[in-house]
Amino acid sequence: MTKKDKEKVFGGEWSQEQLEEFLVEQDYPGETADFTSIIRAYRHMMPASFADFLILLKEKGGDINAKNEAGETALSIISGHAKGAEFAALLKDAGAE
């Protein structure tokens, strides 16, 4: 019987390069690039990787309090999700208001 070489790993450490792929460079209709970046990262990362991503975003000069056209921050949206509490706490720790 043949054994798989590699197994899928979810929630493992992400490389700097992988985290950088979530940094959006352009604004989208109704959203700034930083807002989009944070929401995308939230949707695809486990909390530990999300925390690393937030550090990277800030190091690159990103706005942790970026808003969409409705005036909502990523923190306000994520805080409203049933499973968003840990991510919201990480945003707050990173300086989000």
Residue 50 lies in a domain: yes
**What pLDDT, in 10s, does the model give residues 39-57?**
999 999 999 999 999 999 9
- The pTM for the full model equals 0.84
Report how far apart, in Å, the C-alpha atoms of 87 and of each of 1, 3, 30, 54 are. 42, 36, 23, 10
- Chain centre distance of CA 22: 7
The domain containing residue 50 runs over which residues? 26-93
Residue 7 lies in a domain: no
Residue 86 has pLDDT above 90, yes or no: yes
**Cα dihedral sign for 80, 84, 86, 88?**
negative
Residue 19 lies in a domain: no
Residue 14 lies in a domain: no
Q: Which amino acid is at 92?
A: K
Q: 31 near 41, Cβ under 8 Å?
A: no
- The total of structural domains in the chain comes to 1
Percent of the chain with pLDDT over 90: 78
Q: 55 near 68, Cβ under 8 Å?
A: no
Residue 17 lies in a domain: no
